[in-house]
Structure 1
Amino acid sequence: MNPLLKTGAFAAALVAVCGTGYGVGTAIGPLNLDPAPVAAGHDDRHSPDGETDAATRGTGDAVPAGLQVAQDGYALDLETGTVPAGADRTLRFTVRDADGDPVTRFTTAHGKQLHLIVASRELTTYRHLHPVRAADGTWSTPVDLPDAGGYRVFADFVPADREEKDDGKSPAGLTLGSDLTVTGPYRADRPSAPAATTTVDGYAVTLRGTLRPGTASELTFTVRRDGRPVTGLQPYLGAYGHLVALRAGDLAYLHVHPHEEAHGTALSGPDVAFTADAPSAGTYRLFLDFKVDGTVRTAAFTVRVGAQPPASTPPAPAPEHGTGAPHGH
């Protein structure tokens, strides 16, 4: 059997055992904000474990990032399939090549060889982690997820040989995704409503720009504290902010690029700008990581793509689960 198919079969078996409930007597699935949109011409069939079935969709289709456990000869082998809610655990995984061997050579991108994102299906809990790779190719990182439910794990990386072989028709980097179950009593949750401003740890972050489907969109975030612009944004992952955008429903992972690179220890602010590509209309969650005084904080936004922006800015919501949590390094 092809090693990539073995990985998918393993994931399917794991979910079949662990995915029926998040705690004793619990059989409620995670809450999706919107049905998962499907790009025109795509076959909407999925494998039993929720991963996009690359075999049925074909390798030539422009499947949004993060929906596949395997792509272009690489597979995400998530060794830790379940963790308990509210407890420190170690998450382990391996990136494998087409022969099933661990990948040990990566190209540094945004300051790291691999970025690991963990998000709940409701998109209320978010973690940006920086795991450590052992000599045998196994990556590991501590993780503490507060609530039971379904989660998605994203590995964002650039294999060293992929950069050399890139034909210019697709990005050099890959984002592979796999499902994670967090056990315990489940309580449905919803993220905040769309708003232009959100507040985290006393920092007010305002979003300007409109995310449009099917085209590159310019987004600018302005950071203020006590009404004054923050000009002390520190370099973080090679820029002055790191943005992750996920589509509600299927949790498609958007390609996002910062406008300004950081150089040395020079400070910047209050604005951080990005270009983002949304594959379709729908609801998206945007998570902006920014660093001030040595601490990384996360500002979360809900954005309706294809809808009109809110007429006025409602009061900033209370911080949501995990958006202000410490970041792994």
Structure 2
Amino acid sequence: MSAKQIRSGLDLGSLRLALVLGGLVLALLAGFAIGRIDTGAAPAAGGSVGGTADDGHLHPPGTAPHEHAGNGTTGSAADSAVGGLSLSAGGFTLVPSTTSYPVGRQQDLRFQVRRADRTAVTDFAVVHEKPMHLIVVRRDLSGFQHLHPSMAPDGTWSIPLTLPEAGIWRAYADFTARDDAGRETASTLGVDLVAAGDYAPRPLPVAVREATVDGFTVTYEGTPQVDATQPLLFRVFQDGSPVGGIERYLGAYGHLVALRQGDLGYVHVHPEEQLVGGAVKFWLSVPSPGSYRLFFDFQVAGVVRTAEFTLTVP
């Protein structure tokens, strides 16, 4: 082979190598551009503290709008978060004036929500038509109460409370605090209250899909799964016929609280803003197998009633 042929072979080899390297660079640049486009389309983490999604369902405080596809979607960390396990979390502390209550006698429940610097929070966002939602339930998941206390200018919340039976009760403060810059932070804090006396815990009722309260029959449809957001539809009947007069309550046609047996974890639930085929629809993501107690509030003729269900998730 002559020197000219050798040089020609080298030139062709160099050309092929340059073309290959150029193709790789273009592919990398294209992948980077696509990645930038995908990233820009995703919502920023923590970019929303709640609101109404394009599909019309409401999100609990602290949950960014998202989609529910088909019969259920894989749950996100926000969906499966459990609150109410501690009296202090996320830079806030629940400070009650007392945790001891007489059995069967009314006594004011007073508390403040304090920041890390021990100052009381006085600015709260209105979520589901109220700035503070207070849930009280005994440790055996009986005696459910859903209350809305009033706040004094110094940030002290108060409401008359009666604990009808002896035992340890759990109080949950569900709120969205606002700082001086207008940033909103949602939190659910919990504290135990004690009603002294002989405590006789009730066994958790069996899991059924029908409950009765004050002449109304309430049923639910749906099969919640661990770490998957699934729909639950509640229907209200009276004398065997669907009730057409369900009224709006707390910004939707019903309110649902889900509590986990054992640690009494407070599971966030997403209500739909409108009725769906005459049913009140929620989206629920359970964080673990086990038993849960569902408390469904609905309003008819200006009266709020609560239907209770036991849910068992394998």
Q: What TM-score do you get using the length of structure 1 for normalisation?
A: 0.68
Alignment deviations for residues 104-149 of structure 1 (CA, whole Å, 9 cap, x no partner): 0011000000100001110011000000001111000111121111
> Over the residues paired in the alignment, what is the CA RMSD in angstroms?
1.9
Structure 1, unaligned runs of 5 or more: 1-61, 167-171, 263-267, 307-329
The answer for the alignment partner of 1:173 in structure 2 is: 186
After TM superposition, give the deviation of residue 269 of structure 1 in Å.
7.8
Q: Does 1:182 align with 2:187?
A: no
3-state SS of 1:260 partner:
coil
The answer for the alignment partner of 1:289 in structure 2 is: 297
The answer for the alignment partner of 1:274 in structure 2 is: 282
Q: Does 1:205 align with 2:218?
A: yes
From the superposition, tell whether residues 269 and 231 of structure 1 become closer, same or farther in structure 2 (CA, over 3 Å): farther
Contact 1:223–1:269 (CA under 8 A) maintained in structure 2: no
The answer for the alignment partner of 2:232 in structure 1 is: 219
After TM superposition, give the deviation of residue 270 of structure 1 in Å.
4.0
Q: Does 1:301 align with 2:309?
A: yes
The count of corresponding residues between Structure 1 and Structure 2 is: 235
1:163 and 1:303 map into 2 onto residues whose CA distance is: 41
After TM superposition, give the deviation of residue 188 of structure 1 in Å.
2.2
Q: Does 1:231 align with 2:249?
A: no
The answer for the alignment partner of 1:155 in structure 2 is: 173
3-state SS of 1:249 partner:
coil
Q: Does 1:119 align with 2:166?
A: no
Select which of 110, 120, 131 maps to 2:149.
Answer: 131
Misfit runs of 4+, over 4 Å: 162-166
2:310 and 2:155 map into 1 onto residues whose CA distance is: 36
* Structure whose alpha-carbon radius of gyration is higher: 2
Task: Report sequence identity in percent.
Answer: 47
Q: Does 1:240 align with 2:253?
A: yes
From the superposition, tell whether residues 233 and 250 of structure 1 become closer, same or farther in structure 2 (CA, over 3 Å): same
The answer for the alignment partner of 1:76 in structure 2 is: 94
Contact 1:150–1:179 (CA under 8 A) maintained in structure 2: yes
After TM superposition, give the deviation of residue 66 of structure 1 in Å.
0.8
From the superposition, tell whether residues 293 and 162 of structure 1 become closer, same or farther in structure 2 (CA, over 3 Å): farther
Q: What TM-score do you get using the length of structure 2 for normalisation?
A: 0.71
Select which of 233, 250, 255 maps to 2:268.
Answer: 255
Alignment deviations for residues 210-241 of structure 1 (CA, whole Å, 9 cap, x no partner): 12111212111000000000110111111110
The answer for the alignment partner of 2:7 in structure 1 is: none
Alignment deviations for residues 22-61 of structure 1 (CA, whole Å, 9 cap, x no partner): xxxxxxxxxxxxxxxxxxxxxxxxxxxxxxxxxxxxxxxx
After TM superposition, give the deviation of residue 163 of structure 1 in Å.
9.7
2:187 and 2:255 map into 1 onto residues whose CA distance is: 17
2:97 and 2:278 map into 1 onto residues whose CA distance is: 41
Contact 2:101–2:194 (CA under 8 A) maintained in structure 1: yes
Q: Does 1:195 align with 2:203?
A: no
1:125 and 1:137 map into 2 onto residues whose CA distance is: 27
Alignment deviations for residues 48-106 of structure 1 (CA, whole Å, 9 cap, x no partner): xxxxxxxxxxxxxx962111211111111122201111111111111001110110001
Contact 1:84–1:184 (CA under 8 A) maintained in structure 2: no
After TM superposition, give the deviation of residue 260 of structure 1 in Å.
1.6
